[in-house]
Amino acid sequence: MSRRYIPVSDHRFRKSPFFECNDRDDTLYGIYNNRLYPISSGIDTKAHYANLRSNCCLYDVPETPLRITGKDSLPFLEKLFTRSIEKIKIGKAGYAVACNDKGGVIMDGVLLRPNEKEYIYVQANGDFLNWASAQRQSYEAEIEDFDSWVLQVQGPTSLAVLEAISGVSESHLPYYGVTEVDIIGNPFIISRSGWTGERGFEIYSRGSNFDGRRLWAHILEKGARHGLVASDVSSMHVRRIEAGILDYGTDIDSSLNPFEIGLGRLVHLDKREFIGRDALVNTSRTSLRLVGITCDEHDPERGDLLTMEDGTPAGTITAGAFSYTLERGIGFARLLQPASDGTNFFINTSSGTKPCISVDLPFIDKEKLLVR
């Protein structure tokens, strides 16, 4: 099923401070957390993918940071998330998922601890703020959307760009490290993380009172000698699938628990209390229902139907692309029943059924040899 685009008014959606840096006649936008973001801007996706893997790319991304403050911030966050939050020390970040009382995943994102006074949860697509606010009850804690906007610089030379724009060296910001910096006279938070599986960092503004076009131009100018180019989500999309990075609302939702999507490592059942714990205690640890799929005869697309060899329905493709590294079609499949690595399936296409096979994620760098 090919992706459909429809014209909509932009007046009801929020534009990033970098909107005009990407706005061209051929730019196509998506909507994520009521924010517009550039899906495609007429770039050569293969060329930008190659640059992402050899140099680095700049992305305007729509993830939404939320700020958590107050003396009960830690116990409040321990209740919301399945992992231990106290282990995330000042200057560090950690991937964290929240579940409903049935154990279904309702949000994923990265939790930052830039200083002693606050946590920042960089959420994926969805109305997490209202749900989390309803859980505060007697906790003396506040959670708010503080109008933060995010850029990512991703690729092998990205940390050289970071030092050029902020003075922060690679040695002072380890993987999943967090720091606070001043760039062009404005305060920002930096985390060494990203959505590509490549080395990279993310920039989070403190509010929207800064010149987005100036920051964008400044990063490109300082990054030019390191091969930095402005890109769009089309190049990032291929790389995130190769890296096995899931997208909430696309690949996963509340009908799946962390164990079914390969995130059981984030469920710390030694915690005394968190939402969904009682359900997850009694959940199978081996029922994997979100798997990788490779196909030599077809590039999987969202909505493609999977069957077994006898035609029995087996599941649906949630996201797919052509991998320029593996030179074959790859994607994520959401299965009706758990399956192991190496299971044979068929994808139903307009030109007939095409054979495919399930594989363990990620598709590339399974040994985690890429320096991030």
On the question of pLDDT at 28 being above 70, the answer is: yes
Q: Which residues pair with 329 in a beta bridge?
A: 295, 322
Question: Tokens at residue 104, please?
Answer: 């279904």
* Residues 17-44, mean pLDDT to the nearest whole number: 92
Q: Which of 8-22, 62-76, 206-220, 297-311 has the lowest mean pLDDT?
A: 8-22
| Mean pLDDT score of the chain | 96
User: Which H or E run includes 175?
Assistant: none
Between these two residues, 42 and 244, which has the higher pLDDT value?
Answer: 244
On the question of pLDDT at 150 being above 50, the answer is: yes
Q: Scanning the structure block, which residue is given the tokens 């307009």?
A: 350
Please, are residues 328 and 321 in contact by the beta-carbon 8 Å criterion?
Answer: no
CATH superfamily, domain at 288-362: Aminomethyltransferase beta-barrel domains (2.40.30.110)
Kindly report the pTM of this predicted structure. Answer: 0.96
Question: How many CA atoms lie less than 13 Å away from 151 in the CB half-sphere?
Answer: 29
Please, are residues 190 and 182 in contact by the beta-carbon 8 Å criterion?
Answer: no
Q: Which fold has domain 9-287?
A: Gyrase A; domain 2 (3.30.1360)
The secondary structure of 45-109 as a DSSP string is HHHHHHHHHHSEEEEEE--EEEEEESTTHHHHHHHHBSS-STTS-TTEEEEEEEE-TTS-EEEEE
On the question of pLDDT at 201 being above 90, the answer is: yes
Q: Which residues pair with 330 in a beta bridge?
A: 294, 321
- pLDDT value of residue 1: 43
On the question of pLDDT at 2 being above 70, the answer is: no
pLDDT tens digit sequence for 238-261: 999 999 999 999 999 999 999 999
- pLDDT value of residue 192: 99
Could you tell me the residue ranges of all domains in the chain? Answer: 9-287, 288-362
**Number of neighbouring beta carbons within 10 Å of residue 126:** 18
Strands 228-230 vs 200-205: parallel, antiparallel or unpaired: unpaired
On the question of pLDDT at 318 being above 70, the answer is: yes
Is the bond into 338 cis (omega within 30 degrees of 0)?
no
Q: Rounded CA gap, 51 and 328, in Å?
A: 19
**Number of neighbouring beta carbons within 10 Å of residue 306:** 25
Question: Tokens at residue 129, please?
Answer: 């703020």
pLDDT tens digit sequence for 330-345: 999 999 999 989 999 9
On the question of pLDDT at 108 being above 70, the answer is: yes
